[in-house]
Amino acid sequence: ENGRFSPRYPAPYSTYQQLRQEDEQAAAPAAAAKPRPAEPAPTAKPRKLTWKEKRELEELDSQVEALEQEKADLQAAINAIGGDYQQLQILSGRLEQCETSLEAIMERWLELTEIAEGE
């Protein structure tokens, strides 16, 4: 390989391993000592909203309003329900689904508004 070991001159395998380890150890500091060329830091260009994302952002506003209204209605119904525990369970489940949907929509709305502000 590097002149220290040649298949023409047979030697024990342990000698080959020792020479190979010495070569690797000698090459490691040399490779680590080479300075890397300075690469300019990639500058992130502000991304614009696509047409589809603009439409989605417009629709999200109305969806948020609708879900907030539904949430308020469900909370009012839960407060007024009284002792009907089956109905309370159903309304509580719908309220939980509404809150989960609202949270997901708000996260998406936040993502899109951050992109829009970066334009």
State residue 29's pLDDT score.
66
- pLDDT score of 23: 80
Structure confidence by residue, pLDDT tens digits, 97-113: 999 999 999 999 999 99
The alpha helices in 1-119, defined as continuous H runs, are 13-33, 51-80, 85-117
Residue 105 burial class via C-beta count within 10 angstroms: exposed 0-12, middle 13-18, buried 19 and up = middle
| CA–CA–CA angle 101, 103, 106 (5° rounding) | 110
Q: Is the pLDDT of residue 54 over 80?
A: yes
Calculate mean pLDDT across residues 71-85: 90
Q: Does position 26 have pLDDT exceeding 70, yes or no?
A: yes
Confidence of residue 59 (pLDDT cuts 50, 70, 90): very high
Per CATH, which fold does 51-117 belong to? Helix Hairpins (1.10.287)
Q: Where are the domains of the chain?
A: 1-37, 51-117
* pTM, two decimal places: 0.57
What is the average pLDDT value for the chain, to the nearest integer?
82
